[in-house]
Structure 1
Amino acid sequence: MTINRQIGSADKQTILDTQGLRCFVDNHPLEPEDIEFDHILPFTGPGETAIANIAAVCKKHNREKGSLSLSEYRDRLELRRFFDGAKKRRLDDLLSVRLGPHGFGQPLTVETTPNGADLYLEAGHITVRLEECPATHEQYFFATLPASVLRNDTELQPRVLESDRVWELYRHLRTHTQLAPAVCRLVGDSVLLFDGQHKAAAQVWAGRTMLDCKVYINPELRRLKETNLSAHDKLRQMPFYTSTLLEKYAAMASEDWQSFIETQGPKTESAFVEFIRARVNLSRAEAIKRVRSMIYKDVLDHPDNQLRDYITEENRGRVNPLTMSRLNKTFFTEFIAAPPLNDEFETDAYHRPDERENLVRLLNIIVERSLAGRWAPERKDAAHKKAERLYGAGALRAWIPFLRDAIAPTLGIIESEERKRILYRPLTEAHFSKMEHLVDRLLSHKVWEDLNPALNDLRYDDAERAKGMLKGSGLTPSWIVGGES
């Protein structure tokens, strides 16, 4: 039965008899004076509206939803609740919410034959054509698979889901086809999805139970890792988060490390770089990137590192002052000696372990004085506003090198080359006491609380301009050490 777009009293009562006095969006009880009616699925074009596509909704939700249909708005609120308060959400988390904790990752039996691959699904047996990659000679097939057999490939796809990305794709895929399939690998009877997780998540959130997939049959893992990293780094359309790339590069370098330590010859970072290059045919820059990732991740994963809780990619439960990209450009670049070094591992000359401990301790000194109890976006008080200025993109790239230059003379470091290895040495309690004083001095400068609106430009990622602004306000390395502005 269809009726005009404006429904009458009898039709409204029919809808209420079916739905009950409950809001379609969140099922809360409705008072008669609070009831309105709207479309469940998007209404497109003039003409008729089916009663089956109309639901009762409270006035509040009907105003808040804007141009969304009721079903879209309901899914939007549920998606927000799914992401709110969670540090990280991955595909498996979403599948668990939508399909149930035991409703995904179910086994899929696949038998290969000369004529193709036989897939034994719950709905019945199907045969698909088996393809071969001309470059790697690995076999794969295309099939429309139930979402219940999929799960996230944690080895190849460690990236967390982005709320906005899932929502945008959800809206798009409700009315458009999926152009590219999700890419998976079959390991035993497990179908592990490693590319296209946002498209898959969006479709499952929209209620689809079958997804188009390209499935590799027991592919060589290392080669797929290399392919996946290249696709999200040099060839990327949508990049991994910096922390995810760092983690994966570090993991691959760690795999190479196990082989490297068993070889003859010098054991230095430089030698390790050359070993990686020879093993997987990388450029020197790419090999160095992997070694650098190992070093950075070692600092990031230190159990005492308090800064980690203020990094967006590590804590998605709130707005945070730092991203991995910003951390790499500032603290890591200024305070970690650039690899590769030629110092022999496990000798008195090799100080990476000292550097790690020293940097984490310095980071904690800074966190305790500038972020802990102060970073509070929900309050927006004076303490938070000061922290917000301190951690602006430009400000960070100015005061962190200023702090390094102020620390250097207190450690007896004069040569510019040695400043590049400023924490690459054993340090004493007296040294850290001096660092605490310098950090306190830096944070006490009036520029961080100055109401001059021009200083708000410290949030822009322009290091030289920010340095000029700080110097113009009297904040210099010499001032931090104790000189006059």
Structure 2
Amino acid sequence: MEFGGAKHEISIRIDNNLFKTTFPGVQDNDIVTSPIHEDEIAGFRYTFLNLPIEYLHHDDHINPRAIGSNLKKLIEEFHKGLPQLHVSLGLVDTRNGRSTKLKIFDGQHKAAAQILLGVRRLPVRVFIDPDTDRLLTANTHAGTTLRQVAFDKSVQRSLGSSLLADRMDRYRHDCGRDEDDESFSERDLVNHFKSESREMKRYVIDRVRDSVTTHPDNKLRDYIDYGGRGTERPISYSTVEKTFYSFFIHGDLLTTAFNYRQEEGTNPRQLEIDQIVQLMNVIAEKIYIGQFEHSRGTRRIEHNIQKGKDVPEPHLRAFRMAREEILYNWLRYVKQIIQNYFVTTGKPIDERKMFQYPIPDACWENIDNFLDALKRLSLWMNRDLSITVFGGKQNNDYWQEIFESGRAPNGVQVMASGINLMDMIKAPT
């Protein structure tokens, strides 16, 4: 770690309801003794410690949040001499031996801000051998339904995915199944956990979203702003949810087993994930990679155009095509192109779960051709439109009208005519 954290495990001895440890990794061999308390409602045991940062590890299971953009404000607050009001939360698991990692799952931002100011020890409330599933649930609720902290949507999806994995383990245990058994369905899980059926359905979809978002082969990831307030990347995560995930993830529970057709490579959910990633990759390769400049970003692009400043055409095009109301429309046309392919080839499908069917190469060629034709449209590089159609945020219907007729609802002529999807999917001659 750059600032000296996460170097050592902590050795623990519990004796007569006392938590005892020492920190030889920082040349502190004095025995630290702290009383152990018990949460009267949850039944969790915990203690309070002032810990060297060398003994603090990040818990990316309970809290996968990265350090966000509000760190600067915290640094300024602590620099003014203002105290930390809430201590960080951590946990240790002593069930597998006396030496273990002490993991921090809440308060990372406050900890990081103080470390940057030179603090070498931090106060932590340490849970001892807790039920991590209940901690994960509590932490997720704090960042979602209770809104005690502001979790980004992408973080909420990651937490939901983790909760689904925990529920799957509990289901296997409750039903006496092997630990790697996947011969049960999403519907089976929800039926088993009836008291949280609404949450379970969200966890199922969160798993799909998170699998796409974190997929190691996803080339569009580098162009998605996960915090929602950055200016380096063109596509907000919120836009991804409203377009890619809304259009292409089947939102109902499946009755087929999690391992259904897994060996053949045609498992419905895995196909859905892989093909959404494939679509994202095609878009990234054609519009963003080598064209959108992260160093230039998205800040005041149209303003700079209006001031006559130089903005490279590939960057301008990528920026404009990523605007939510624009992306919403042209990605919807991609969906229509896929639907049309299945119809014209006589393949009966359930259009609600279109990406759970293998999309043939010929259909991918149609998508390629459409995207090539779309990016060639002159409006993306038309600087005169910066004041009018690109001057402010419009709604989805506004851009549907432009793509349909070539003219904006306010009468501005944007293109000579509307687009023709059948012409755009043809290979260029």
* Counterpart secondary structure, 1:427: coil
**1:266-288 CA-partner distances (Å, limit 9, x unpaired):** 8433223333x34xx42x33111
Letter in 1 for 2:291: R
The CA distance in 1 between the partners of 2:343 and 2:419, in whole Å, is 15
* Counterpart secondary structure, 1:320: coil
Give 1:269's match in structure 2, choosing from 186, 204, 225.
186
Q: TM-score, normalised by structure 1?
A: 0.68
**1:324-357 CA-partner distances (Å, limit 9, x unpaired):** 3321211121122223133455259963333334
Residue number in structure 2 paired with 1:392: 323
Give 1:423's match in structure 2, choosing from 355, 358, 361.
355
Letter in 2 for 1:454: T
The CA distance in 1 between the partners of 2:406 and 2:19, in whole Å, is 71
Which residues in structure 2 correspond to 1:139-288 (within 5 Å)?
Answer: 139-162=45-68, 164-174=69-79, 175-188=81-94, 189=99, 190-258=101-169, 260=171, 263=175, 267-275=184-192, 277-278=193-194, 281-282=195-196, 284-288=197-201
Q: How many positions carry a matched residue from both structures?
A: 378
Letter in 2 for 1:369: K
**1:154-208 CA-partner distances (Å, limit 9, x unpaired):** 322322112x322211111121111111111123343211110111111111112
The CA distance in 1 between the partners of 2:371 and 2:149, in whole Å, is 38
Which residues in structure 2 correspond to 1:317-332 (within 5 Å)?
Answer: 319-332=232-245
Instruction: Give the C-alpha shift of residue 211 in structure 1.
Output: 1.7
Letter in 2 for 1:420: R
The CA distance in 1 between the partners of 2:405 and 2:360, in whole Å, is 34
Which residues in structure 2 correspond to 1:72-151 (within 5 Å)?
Answer: 96-99=1-4, 104-114=6-16, 116-121=18-23, 122=28, 124-151=30-57
Which of 396-405 and 177-186 deviates more?
396-405
Instruction: Give the C-alpha shift of residue 430 in structure 1.
Output: 1.7
Letter in 2 for 1:205: L
Answer whether contact 2:220 2:280 (CA < 8 A) is retained: yes
Structure 1: any 5+ residue segments left out of the alignment?
1-95
Answer whether contact 2:406 2:418 (CA < 8 A) is retained: no
* Counterpart secondary structure, 1:341: coil
The CA distance in 1 between the partners of 2:60 and 2:160, in whole Å, is 14
The CA distance in 2 between the partners of 1:425 and 1:250, in whole Å, is 23
The CA distance in 2 between the partners of 1:141 and 1:302, in whole Å, is 38
Answer whether contact 2:183 2:257 (CA < 8 A) is retained: yes
The CA distance in 2 between the partners of 1:157 and 1:363, in whole Å, is 27
The CA distance in 1 between the partners of 2:393 and 2:348, in whole Å, is 28
* Counterpart secondary structure, 2:225: coil
Residue number in structure 1 paired with 2:366: 434
Instruction: Give the C-alpha shift of residue 117 in structure 1.
Output: 3.2
Residue number in structure 2 paired with 1:291: 204
The CA distance in 2 between the partners of 1:243 and 1:132, in whole Å, is 33
The CA distance in 2 between the partners of 1:353 and 1:108, in whole Å, is 40
Instruction: Give the C-alpha shift of residue 367 in structure 1.
Output: 1.9
Answer whether contact 2:62 2:105 (CA < 8 A) is retained: yes
The CA distance in 2 between the partners of 1:127 and 1:477, in whole Å, is 75
* Counterpart secondary structure, 2:389: helix
* Counterpart secondary structure, 1:442: helix
The CA distance in 1 between the partners of 2:404 and 2:391, in whole Å, is 14
Give 1:402's match in structure 2, choosing from 333, 336, 344.
333
Answer whether contact 1:312 1:322 (CA < 8 A) is retained: yes
Q: TM-score, normalised by structure 2?
A: 0.76
Query: Percentage identity across aligned positions?
Result: 22
The CA distance in 1 between the partners of 2:257 and 2:222, in whole Å, is 34
The 1:131/1:472 distance shift into structure 2, 3 A limit, reads: farther
Which of the two has higher C-alpha Rg? 1
Question: Structure 1 residue 354 and structure 2 residue 267: aligned?
Answer: no
Which of 165-174 and 253-262 deviates more?
253-262
**1:68-91 CA-partner distances (Å, limit 9, x unpaired):** xxxxxxxxxxxxxxxxxxxxxxxx
Answer whether contact 2:49 2:124 (CA < 8 A) is retained: yes
**1:237-268 CA-partner distances (Å, limit 9, x unpaired):** 33333333322322332343356578599843
Instruction: Give the C-alpha shift of residue 323 in structure 1.
Output: 3.2
The 1:158/1:360 distance shift into structure 2, 3 A limit, reads: closer
Letter in 2 for 1:209: R
The CA distance in 2 between the partners of 1:252 and 1:115, in whole Å, is 32
The 1:477/1:98 distance shift into structure 2, 3 A limit, reads: same
The CA distance in 2 between the partners of 1:313 and 1:292, in whole Å, is 18
Letter in 2 for 1:385: L
Answer whether contact 2:404 2:418 (CA < 8 A) is retained: no
Letter in 2 for 1:482: D
The CA distance in 1 between the partners of 2:340 and 2:84, in whole Å, is 60
Answer whether contact 1:371 1:387 (CA < 8 A) is retained: yes
The 1:170/1:250 distance shift into structure 2, 3 A limit, reads: same
Which of 288-297 and 450-459 deviates more?
450-459
Residue number in structure 2 paired with 1:365: 282
Which residues in structure 2 correspond to 1:37-52 (within 5 Å)?
Answer: none
Which residues in structure 2 correspond to 1:435-450 (within 5 Å)?
Answer: 435-450=367-382
The CA distance in 2 between the partners of 1:154 and 1:324, in whole Å, is 20
Answer whether contact 2:62 2:139 (CA < 8 A) is retained: yes
The 1:303/1:156 distance shift into structure 2, 3 A limit, reads: closer
The 1:154/1:354 distance shift into structure 2, 3 A limit, reads: closer
